[in-house]
């Protein structure tokens, strides 16, 4: 077995790693077609999950939430203080995600 591992190319090692996925990738894959609220290390996003890879989650009907206002109230009501919608899809690096939830409110699609 050790000899086989020593004979793998870097490309083959990367491919094996991508097949393994990560806990975040696997869990987000279950959200395909659903709306989410994602918190990254720097920003908040809402949108509908349309693709998940080991590196990136892609959202459509996405918005950057510049200001949630009172966080608990925003989660309860679905209303944010500041919203900046994207005109197309947005890709978020999986490694930057702190947490996410299924978003049960209408997606915010207008600037606020």
User: Could you read off the pLDDT of 22-57 as tens digits, one per residue?
Assistant: 556 667 788 899 999 999 999 999 999 999 988 899
CATH code of the domain covering residue 52: 2.30.30.100
**pLDDT at 102 > cutoff 90:** yes
How many CA atoms lie less than 13 Å away from 66 in the CB half-sphere? 9
Q: Is 107 inside any structural domain?
A: no
Give pLDDT, residue 36: 97
Dist CA 106 CA 60 (whole Å): 13
Q: Is 26 inside any structural domain?
A: yes
Q: Is 92 inside any structural domain?
A: yes
What is the tally of helices (H) and strands (E) in the chain?
4, 6
**pLDDT at 21 > cutoff 60:** no
Dist CA 79 CA 70 (whole Å): 10
Q: Is 9 inside any structural domain?
A: no
Domain count within the chain: 1
Mean pLDDT of 59-64: 97
Q: Is 31 inside any structural domain?
A: yes
Work out the pLDDT band at 107, boundaries 50, 70, 90.
very high
pTM for this prediction? 0.77
Q: Is 77 inside any structural domain?
A: yes
**pLDDT at 8 > cutoff 90:** no
Q: Is 6 inside any structural domain?
A: no
Q: Is 13 inside any structural domain?
A: no
Give pLDDT, residue 30: 83
Domain that holds residue 86: 21-102
């Amino acid at each position: 077995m050790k000899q086989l591992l020593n004979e793998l190319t870097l490309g083959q090692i990367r491919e094996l790693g991508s097949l393994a996925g990560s806990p975040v990738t696997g869990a987000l894959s279950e959200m395909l077609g659903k709306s989410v609220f994602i918190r990254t290390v720097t920003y908040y996003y809402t949108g509908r999950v349309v693709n998940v890879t080991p590196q990136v989650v892609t959202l459509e009907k996405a918005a950057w939430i510049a200001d949630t206002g009172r966080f608990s109230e925003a989660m309860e009501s679905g209303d944010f203080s500041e919203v900046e919608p994207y005109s197309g899809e947005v890709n978020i690096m999986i490694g930057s995600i702190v947490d996410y939830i299924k978003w049960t409110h209408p997606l915010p699609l207008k600037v606020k």
